């Protein structure tokens, strides 16, 4: 269960130090095992497994803040483009039963076939050589690494402290 110093993401208690955005209905967190540098998540605050369980207000909040986060990620990670997706249900590759939006910075040529990224998200594909991380080698990052990335994103997005005090 989440405490005053964590937020709940499915069964996981996420330390606030690993979060970078907070709104009434969503929050942003850095990824433990990113597919690409800068791969982050925007998560619905209310814990529901499926997208269709969100209220219209929650859907709007998730996507408005997803757009805000995407601008910061694209800038900070020098991305040419982004892959943004929701894996909605087990058959779609969802592993954490809590609605979340993946935001993955992309650069030209990072995957030989752009759609390969989806098999990597599902855990069945291999990350291309040029990323220097294949599926088996995607080791969890340290708490320190994730906190440092969260700080960088907070600075770019702004307003984190105000939002945190309002919603915690």
Q: In CATH, what number is assigned to the domain containing residue 106?
A: 3.30.428.10
Asked if the structure places residue 109 within a domain, the reply is yes
Confidence of residue 118 (pLDDT cuts 50, 70, 90): confident
What total of structural domains would you count in the chain? 1
Of all residues in the chain, the percent with pLDDT exceeding 90 is: 70
Asked if the structure places residue 40 within a domain, the reply is yes
For Cα atoms 2, 159, 60, give the angle at the middle one, nearest 5 degrees. Answer: 70
Asked if the structure places residue 105 within a domain, the reply is yes
Annotated ligand binding at 95? The verdict is: yes
Confidence of residue 134 (pLDDT cuts 50, 70, 90): very low
Asked if the structure places residue 7 within a domain, the reply is no
Catalytic residue set:
100
- Domain span at residue 144 reads 13-157
Annotated ligand binding at 31? The verdict is: yes
Asked if the structure places residue 52 within a domain, the reply is yes
Does the structure show a pLDDT above 60 at 6?
yes
Asked if the structure places residue 8 within a domain, the reply is no
Annotated ligand binding at 96? The verdict is: yes
């Amino acid at each position: 269960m989440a405490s005053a110093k964590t937020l709940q993401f499915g069964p996981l208690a996420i330390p606030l130090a690993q979060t970078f955005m907070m709104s009434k209905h969503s929050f942003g967190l850095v990824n433990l095992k990113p597919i690409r540098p800068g791969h982050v998540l925007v998560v619905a605050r209310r814990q529901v497994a499926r997208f269709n369980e969100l209220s219209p207000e929650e859907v709007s909040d998730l996507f408005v803040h997803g757009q805000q986060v995407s601008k910061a990620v694209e800038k900070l990670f020098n991305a040419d483009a982004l892959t943004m997706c929701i894996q909605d249900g087990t058959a779609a590759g969802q592993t954490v039963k809590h609605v979340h939006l993946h935001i993955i910075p992309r650069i030209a040529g990072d995957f030989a076939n752009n759609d390969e990224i989806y098999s990597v998200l599902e855990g069945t594909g291999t990350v291309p050589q040029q990323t220097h991380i294949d599926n088996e080698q995607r080791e969890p990052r340290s708490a320190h690494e994730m906190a440092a990335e969260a700080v960088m994103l907070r600075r770019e997005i702004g307003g984190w402290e105000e939002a945190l005090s309002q919603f915690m």
